[in-house]
Structure formats: C-alpha cells, structure tokens
A and B are shown apart, each in its own frame.
Chain A
C-alpha cells in the first residue's frame, strides 16, 4: 500500500432478517421458489393494498441494537425512498430515513497491527428488499421476479472509520458473527442474505477533509470485499498521482475481471424525495419491551471469548476461533464438559482434526458426523491411555466414516494401547538385540538415537505401545 495516502472506508451491510414472512406482507420469504409465486398483492404494489409491519423485524432490530451497544429509538418512522426501477414495484422503497430504529452503536475489531480498534455504527434501519431482474435468455427483454421484494433487511451503516480492506473484512466478519449469534439472519452470502456496499476514499496523509468517495456495490463475499476495496484504493491513488480526480459515483465490482467499473444505470443524479410513509404509523418501543428483549440476548462473541480464556484456560487465539460461530462454541463446550481431557486438548482437537475434516467435506459443525459426546468419548480414551494421541486421529477418521463410537472402533481394530510393562520390555529387548551397532553408538554418547529405538518399538507394536513407558524402559535398559 502506498504510504503517502490514508484510506477511509465505511460499510453499509444489508443483512436479511430470518423471518418466515415478509416485512410488510404475509407472503413467504423462503428462497428458491418459482418466479413470482411468493409475490403477493402487497409485494407487487397492487392498487389499493397497504403494508402492515411484521413484529419479528422490530424484535430482531432491537436485538441487534442491544448487541452492538446502540440506542434503540423510542420512536422510529418509516419513509419512502422514491425512484423508478423494474425490481421496485411501488416506485418507492419503504425504508427508514430520519428516525431509524437503531443508532450510535459500536464494535471492537482487531486492526492491521493486531490492536483493538473501535468502529462506530452510525445506524441500523429496517427496510424492504427489491426483486430481481433476470437478463439471460429473454432476447431483448429483462424478466422481473418479485419473490424477493418485501423481504426484510437490516441495513447496518458504519462510520467511515475503517482504514484498510483487511479492517473492512474484519468488521464485516464480526457483524456476520453477531447476526448469526443472535439468530436474526442466516448470513448466507451465496443467497444474498448478507451483502455489503463499501464507500471508499483516499486522501494524502495530513489532509483534513475527506477525499471524494466512490460506492462499491455487489460485494457478496468476504474475499470480494477485500479485493474490490484494494482494487479501488489502488485505482484512486493512481488517478490522483497522475493528476486526475476521483469522481463520486457508484461502481460495480466485477469478480471475473477483478476490477470495479462505473454502473451505467445509476448515472442519473438521484433525488429520492424521502418523506414519511403515510401508510405506516410511527413505531413506538418502550423500556419494558427493550428490557424483555435484552433478557433473551445470548452471550455474544467477545464475552464468550473472554470467558473461554478465563474458564477453560485456553489460548486467546484458540478462543477466538472457537467463538467465531455460536454452534462451534457450543460444540466445544459440550465436549469439554463431557471429557476428562484438558480443555486445551479439546480445543486442539476441535480446531485441528475436527475443523479440518469439516472443511474437507464442506460441512457445517451442525452436520458433523461425530457428535460432541462421541468426541468426548474419544478424548477420554487418550486421557486414560487406552490409545495414544496418534492413534486417536485414526480412530477419529473411522468414527467420521461411521464405524461407531471410539470404543467400538478401538475394539474392532484392536488399537488398544499396550501398557503391560513386561510385554513392552520383551519388545525392547528384541529391538536392542537386533540393533547392536546403534546400541554401541548410543552408549558412546549419541543420545539422539533414543528416537530411533522408540520408533522401532512402536513399529513392532503397531503403534500401540504407550510412548511414555517405551521411553522409560529403553532408557533404563540402554543405561
């Protein structure tokens, strides 16, 4: 990154709220239905129909506000944002403008230097989503599917306080984690349930006023957010260094070409003529309601991470990984509660073997073939020396493949560890007898060869000898 420029980024995240019906109508929000079969008269903006607000969206917005330490407005107002576009059936979008439901929140992220950084959340407001335009296969037409029209969105607007693409991603990930913790959004980025626009500008170091910003649209993955912002930063810096000027405009990120380009359809200067929607009345929320919602708030990622470090004495980085998703954290806690193994041992296994297997098979923690109880059973067998840590990995793979519980796999495969001293001694004796040269070298002072002997013993026992005992017996016998 060019050092003589400072980067200023603000994000507008749209999180689709996980309701079963739409924000202003009783039509289903289920994804993937045949075109326009989930667009009722209200969603279609039919003459004479009226919007009625879904109570769940108010609860969800309130939850989010409380989670980011924001103010919940006692009175919020829906406004109309007027513009014409085929995916916007009424010719206006119902949104919130002057009086949003959530204001003045904050979030702590880790910045590029690894320090905590507070990012302000200007506001979060409720609004309805638009439909979809389909351009393929319709010759000189575009087709409009309004199934998505009226789906509830929470638009979360950050202060322009993010200083790099990486910070922007860290912020976005954190919001993603929070909305999923709260259960207010599924956060599914492929289906567009969680997407973001980025306002990006650069200015020479020391300059007070902000540079001209561009708005990047169509950022529907964390990777694209990072790439698009980085592309845009470079583009703006080059432009300025070449003596040009940044034009305030909306740009679309093209992931195929990894570049941003101006959006043609938004060229005309918009005058949205916001005004309070006369079909909807002010939403009033009292303190009792807010307190009732607060009672239902789950433990949030930051608090959970802190508790994991305190309570389980695991490493901070591991706690961060485990608490990135509520279900992963729950899984960890279930294993930790059920096993006699140390929590750090559980953390290591969950982050290492389990996460690796989930990742390899493209599964979420909820779909893990090895339950928390089953994993606890496996870790117990390591703890009580029934098997070694190394054999545990083999047993885990077998459990993953559906071969049964840890004990069943151990028995079926005969993997029980040899802890009988006499049996180990007899193998050690054979190894010493078979390798006189190495024994001489060891005795001459080449202590490192102990590893060779251990390896030979383990090989001879099929990995089942207890490594601690093998070590001790070897050292005794080799003198």
Chain B
C-alpha cells in the first residue's frame, strides 16, 4: 500500500473530513490504488515543459471599480443553518 493509515488520517484532517469507522480501511486501500495509478506520471519526460494551468492562453480581464451588488442578505441567509442578527453562527472560536 502506497499510503498508510497515518497519512490518510493526516489528509482527512487537512481536508476536514470525518470518515465513518467502516469507511476508513477501504479509503486507505482505494486511495492507495489511485496514488499507484497516478504514479505512472513519473515516467513522462517533462524536462523544461512549462506547467499548464489553463487550457487557453488568455489573460485576466479586469472589471471597473464599481459597486454593482445590492444587499440581499435576508434572502441569501435562508440557506444558512444558524444565524443571529445577520451573523453566521459557529461554535465559539478561541484565539
């Protein structure tokens, strides 16, 4: 297996994913197979090849500095699980 349990645990933590107990073992196994599969990229000769981030050679368009959005908070917050006085609530954050 190319990935061990600790690595998968670490990745799950970085990605903020809690895996159910039954899910964990098969995740290690399947992720390992995926990693083995993509490992074949290592064979490709890519010396000097520029990485390609976008399929087209376009450049960023700029928008004028204008306020075009209007307040739609109450409509938008109908999707929010928990709000109070317009604030989104989360368990207390300690800094």
Contacts and interface: CB of A to CB of B under 8 A. Distances in A.
Contacts of B54: 278, 281
B88 A143 contact: yes
Closest 8 CB pairs of A and B: A143-B87, A26-B68, A55-B62, A56-B65, A40-B69, A35-B86, A144-B88, A281-B60
B93 A282 contact: no
Contacts of B49: none
Interface of B: 14, 16, 53-54, 58-69, 71-73, 76-77, 82, 84-95
Contacts of A265: 93-95
A144 B89 contact: yes
Interface in A317-359: none
Given A142-B91, A142-B93, A35 B85 contact: yes
Nearest to B54: A281
Contacts of A28: 67, 69
Nearest to B93: A142
A36 B88 contact: yes
Nearest to A146: B88
A91 to B, nearest CB: 8
B59 A278 contact: no
Given A142-B91, A265-B94, A271-B14, A26 B84 contact: no
6 contacts: A44-B76, A52-B63, A133-B93, A141-B82, A252-B95, A278-B54
Contacts of A86: 88, 90, 93
A271 B13 CA distance: 11
B67 A280 contact: no
A46 B94 CA distance: 26
Interface residues of A, number: 50
Contacts of B16: 84
A155 B7 CA distance: 34
Interface string A2-43: 000000000000000001110001111000001111111100
B91 A21 contact: no
B60 A53 contact: yes
B90 A141 contact: yes
B63 A54 contact: yes
Contacts of B60: 53, 280-284
B89 A55 contact: no
B1 to A, nearest CB: 22
A386 to B, nearest CB: 51
Given A35-B85, A140-B91, A145-B86, 15 more contacts: A20-B65, A20-B66, A21-B65, A35-B87, A40-B69, A52-B61, A56-B65, A142-B91, A142-B93, A143-B85, A144-B89, A144-B90, A264-B94, A284-B59, A284-B60
Contacts of A35: 85-87
B66 to A, nearest CB: 6
A252 B66 CA distance: 36
B62 to A, nearest CB: 4
B89 A141 contact: yes
A135 B93 contact: yes
Given A40-B72, A86-B93, A145 B87 contact: yes
Contact of A282 (B59, B63, B68): B59
Given A44-B76, A86-B90, A141-B90, A53 B63 contact: yes
Interface string A203-247: 000000000000000000000000000000000000000000000
B73 A36 contact: yes
Contacts of B95: 252, 263-265
A46 B76 CA distance: 10
Given A142-B90, A281-B58, A282-B60, A41 B76 contact: yes
Contacts of B63: 26, 52-55
B54 to A, nearest CB: 6
Nearest to A57: B65
Contacts of A142: 89-93
Contacts of A292: none
Nearest to B55: A278
Contacts of B91: 140-142
A25 B53 contact: no
B33 to A, nearest CB: 22
B57 to A, nearest CB: 9
A35 B35 CA distance: 44
A264 B92 CA distance: 13
A281 B92 CA distance: 37
A146 B87 CA distance: 8
Contacts of A433: none
B93 A283 contact: no
A58 interface: yes
A276 interface: yes
Contacts of A423: none
